[in-house]
Amino acid sequence: MKKTYKIDVDCANCALKMEEAAKKTPGVAGAVVNFMTLRMSVEFDEGVSPADVMKSVRANCKRVERDCEVFI
Amino acid sequence: MSRKQKAALVRIIITAALTLLLILIPAVPESGWLRLALFAVPYLLIGYDILIEAVDGVLHLRPFDECFLMAVATVGAFALGEYSEGVAVMLFYQIGELFQSVAVGKSRRSIGALMDIRPDYANLEGEGGTVSRVDPDEVAIGSVIVVDPGEKIPIDGVIISGTSTVDTRALTGESVPRRVVTGDRVAGGCINVSGVIRIRTEKEFGESTASKILELLEGASSKKSKSEDFISKFARIYTPAVCGGALALAVIPPLVSLALGGDAGFGIWIYRALTFLVISCPCALVVSIPLTFFAAIGGAGTLGILIKGSNYIETLSNVRTVVFDKTGTMTKGTFSVSGIHHPRVEESVILDFAAHAESASSHPIAGSIIDAYTSATGSAVDRSRVTDVTEIGGQGVTATVDGVRVAAGNGKLMDALGIQYSECHEVGTVVHVAFDGRYVGHILISDEIKPTAKEAIAAMRRARVKRAVMLTGDKESVGRAVAEQLGADDVYSELLPDGKVEIVEKLISEAEKGEAVAFVGDGINDAPVLARADVGFAMGALGSDAAIEAADVVIMDDDPRRVADAISLARGSMAIVHENIAFAIGVKLLCLLLGAVGVAGMWAAIFADVGVMVLAVCNAIRALFVGKYDHRKESK
């Protein structure tokens, strides 16, 4: 399953860091951050709850880039 | 400006004013605790978030980012008693950040406006003509929706009443609005310009054009370019390396000096080391390179070129060989009348009678003849002139038109009727026509070359493409004829889909090092070739999911000239990337050298750092302005 979330981040490099962090989160099969449209599309593994996974995605993103937001 | 940016601006102004006051007011002591306390106020005001970020970075085991560099340098400056310089470094760093954020926000909005195809609602018509506003997701296939002027068409469908013009710019990059009438198909994401239309939906929202394109746009840039990889690896090695360098600069020269019996001069060398740290901040690179790619992909989107990742921008810029499929790419892929040969009566009479004889047939060939008649005369066929229609499967039709017995069909039909006919030497489908058993000529129907196809190849050459190669499954003679008309260098005919892959592989192996091979196809049976080429272009692929999946670049408006546009755009963007890398690293190295020998102080360092970043960001944003790569601009 694939879902798209709005994000807020200031610099292009930070967006790339968020993407890396999201990809490494368990339950995420793939993630892409588009800095120009400020959206993150996340492909989830089978059988996970996107809401739960996104909470850890947000936490992981904040760990690499304190000044960012993922609107779940 | 957003609230965050305004807050940053206020902080910058207050800090600048306070610092200036502290420097100018003579009552402020030259040194001592009071001076430290006074300067600590603007310093903490402007730098608290960076200090927090730096500590946060160390705690999360990712030290050595730019916040860390700034924190160490400024805290160091304070330790040396260089308070005003410590504040200045933070201040300029924040000015640079703010500038970057505002510039990016501006360009983002300009792209966002063009790319904003997400419909927020649909006006669903219920029973009895009541209209209610609903989420597009809730509209079932076959529902009727109403679109008022100025609204976005939310879902693909067919117009059941109303006429209007629609703006398809966001979907295709085409700026001329298209006129639509009842019975026309419209795509979600277009803007309804002039009239109220009612649409019967044919797809669910998730399967609609607008959703598909959004998915493409938002899924773009999943693949990193070599330049980005280079920069992130560079930053990973570079920052610790400069920190080490700075440490060495702070410790080794004083120790050497001590060993030689001189004065250690720790203060000077530590100051130089801190300057070194400020200069070395890699933000100009780590910010501007990804920004260039994001901007280029966004800009390309506004031209109706969807590039799936920054790595393809890099590859595109190296394309020297373009391989393209004939049918559907350079030709329309639909069949139309291309000539009437050996006429024994007026050509228009042959077309007139043949079109009427075929008027009851649903065969595509009949459709082509009828289309040719309507476009030549401007009037529809008049069924009342036609009687006694007999359609003979696999041969053609006979009918009486205005009292004349018309036979229209292939050679077999003519043989069956015992009519002598002339063979056609050109390639295509031939419809022989006879009036009252007398042969009057034949109509040739063939695939039409797109009007822009020849110009497309000329434009590729201007974009420094060395070889333009055409592939086709058609007969040798057709392939040659079309290739010659287009001005292609080579043509390979009678190919099966596997054969196309082989040819592309051969061309890739023939390409020189650093040169890329692009394949352009309409997506039908092309998926393996699209995947095999260095860059695969799918043309007007809104219909073909397989092509969208396999292609690296999707051209939305079916125009082959976009291939050259994409190549030049990519080349322009890569030029910006290279400029930024060379400029930033060059200035940094120069300043590092000057800093190490003590010519450049911390003020110079921070100007160099922020200045380089501002210039690099401005340069990166140039990648957004893609108008100059748009072939339509050139032709005007």
Token pair recorded at residue B545: 């999911």
So where are chain A's domains? Answer: 2-71
Q: How far is CA B77 from CA B44, B268, B410, B549, B595, in A?
A: 14, 11, 92, 55, 15
pLDDT above 60 for B634: no
- Output helix, strand, coil percentages for chain A, rounded to the nearest 5: 40, 30, 30
Contacts of B66 (CB under 8 A, 6+ apart): B239, B281, B282, B283, B286
pLDDT above 60 for B196: yes
What's the CATH superfamily of B334-448?
Calcium-transporting ATPase, cytoplasmic domain N (3.40.1110.10)
Q: What are phi and psi of B475, to 5 degrees?
A: -65, 150
Quick check: helix, strand or coil at residue B373?
A: helix
Token pair recorded at residue B541: 């692929």
- Choosing from B65, B156, B167, B325, which is the catalytic residue? B325
Question: Are B524 and B544 contacting, i.e. CB atoms less than 8 angstroms apart?
Answer: yes
Which residue of chain A comes nearest to B297, CA vs CA?
A: A36
Between B328 and B153, name the one with better pLDDT: B153
Question: Are B611 and B92 contacting, i.e. CB atoms less than 8 angstroms apart?
Answer: no
C-alpha B428/C-alpha B430 separation (Å) is 6
Quote the mean pLDDT of chain B. Answer: 84
Residue pLDDT, tens place only, B560-599: 899 999 999 999 999 999 999 899 888 888 887 887 777 7
Nearest residue to B294 via CA among B223, B224, B221: B221
Residue pLDDT, tens place only, A6-44: 888 877 778 888 888 999 999 999 888 888 778 888 889
Contact at CB, A35 and B217, closer than 8 angstroms = no
C-alpha B138/C-alpha B126 separation (Å) is 13
Which residue of chain A comes nearest to B310, CA vs CA?
A: A34
Token pair recorded at residue B219: 């899924």
Mean pLDDT across the stretch B451-465? 91
pLDDT above 70 for B111: no
Between B534 and B219, name the one with better pLDDT: B534
Mean pLDDT across the stretch B506-511? 91
Number of other CB atoms surrounding residue B390 within 10 Å: 12
Residue pLDDT, tens place only, B229-268: 777 777 778 778 888 888 888 888 888 888 887 777 788 8
Output the pLDDT for position B218.
Answer: 64
C-alpha B368/C-alpha B354 separation (Å) is 11
Nearest residue to B91 via CA among B38, B13, B37: B13
| Residue carrying the six token digits 């004829």 | B481
Which residue type, as a one-letter code, is found at position B118?
R
The percent of residues above 70 in pLDDT, for chain B, comes to 93
Report the CATH fold assignment for A2-71: Alpha-Beta Plaits (3.30.70)
Mean pLDDT across the stretch B495-523? 87
C-alpha B510/C-alpha B156 separation (Å) is 44
pLDDT above 70 for B633: no
Residue pLDDT, tens place only, B26-44: 877 777 788 888 889 999 9
C-alpha B190/C-alpha B178 separation (Å) is 10
In chain B, where does the domain assigned CATH 3.40.1110.10 lie?
Answer: 334-448
C-alpha B136/C-alpha B205 separation (Å) is 6
Output the pLDDT for position A53.
Answer: 92
- Minimal Cα–Cα distance from A31 to chain B, Å? 8
Check the CA dihedral B225-B229-B230-B235 and report its sign: positive
pLDDT band at residue B459, thresholds of 50, 70 and 90? Answer: very high
Q: Give the number of residues written for chain A.
A: 72
Output the pLDDT for position B575.
Answer: 94
Which residue type, as a one-letter code, is found at position B97?
E
In chain B, where does the domain assigned CATH 2.70.150.10 lie?
Answer: 122-151+155-207
Mean pLDDT across the stretch B478-504? 87
Token pair recorded at residue A4: 């798209």
| Residue carrying the six token digits 């994001």 | B294
Contact at CB, B220 and A32, closer than 8 angstroms = yes
Contact at CB, B217 and A34, closer than 8 angstroms = yes
B58: chain A residues, CB-CB within 8 Å: none
A62: chain B residues, CB-CB within 8 Å: none
In chain B, where does the domain assigned CATH 3.40.50.1000 lie?
Answer: 307-331+450-568
Give the pairing type, strands B197-201 and B157-161: antiparallel
pTM value is: 0.77
Q: Which residues of B491-525 are buried (b: 16+ CB within 10 A; e: fewer)?
A: bbbebeeeebbebbeebbeebeeeebbbbbbbbbb
C-alpha B406/C-alpha B369 separation (Å) is 14
pLDDT above 60 for B543: no
Q: Is B609 a catalytic residue?
A: no
Which residue of chain A comes nearest to B113, CA vs CA?
A: A37
| Residue carrying the six token digits 């060939």 | B365
DSSP state of B333: E
Mean pLDDT across the stretch B373-398? 85
Q: Which residues of B602-623 are buried (b: 16+ CB within 10 A; e: fewer)?
A: bebbbbbbbebbbbbbebbbbb
Which residue of chain A comes nearest to B224, CA vs CA?
A: A16
Contact at CB, A11 and B228, closer than 8 angstroms = no
pLDDT band at residue B516, thresholds of 50, 70 and 90? Answer: very high
The HSE-up count of residue B597 (CA atoms within 13 Å, CB side) is 6
pLDDT band at residue B636, thresholds of 50, 70 and 90? Answer: very low
Number of other CB atoms surrounding residue B249 within 10 Å: 22
C-alpha B624/C-alpha B112 separation (Å) is 12
Task: Domain B307-331+450-568: state its class.
Answer: alpha beta
Output the pLDDT for position B517.
Answer: 94
* Distance, C-alpha A11 to centroid of its chain: 15
Question: Are B428 and B365 contacting, i.e. CB atoms less than 8 angstroms apart?
Answer: no
Output the pLDDT for position B573.
Answer: 94
Contact at CB, A64 and B60, closer than 8 angstroms = yes
Mean pLDDT across the stretch B546-563? 83
pLDDT above 50 for B453: yes
Q: Is B539 left (phi over 0), alpha (psi -120 to 50) or beta?
A: beta
C-alpha B298/C-alpha B116 separation (Å) is 12
| Residue carrying the six token digits 């080391």 | B273
pLDDT band at residue B85, thresholds of 50, 70 and 90? Answer: confident
A11: chain B residues, CB-CB within 8 Å: 97, 100-101, 104, 287, 291
pLDDT above 70 for B106: yes
Output the pLDDT for position B175.
Answer: 66
C-alpha B107/C-alpha B147 separation (Å) is 30
What ipTM was predicted for this assembly? 0.80
pLDDT above 70 for B542: no
C-alpha B304/C-alpha B556 separation (Å) is 5
Contact at CB, B287 and A10, closer than 8 angstroms = no
Residue pLDDT, tens place only, B120-143: 888 998 877 788 888 888 888 888
* Distance, C-alpha B206 to centroid of its chain: 22
Highest mean pLDDT among B60-74, B128-142, B166-180: B128-142
Output the pLDDT for position B14.
Answer: 93
Query: Given 3.40.50.1240, 3.90.470.20, 3.30.1130.10, 2.70.150.10, which CATH number is that of B122-151+155-207?
Result: 2.70.150.10
**H or E segment to which residue B110 belongs:** helix B83-115
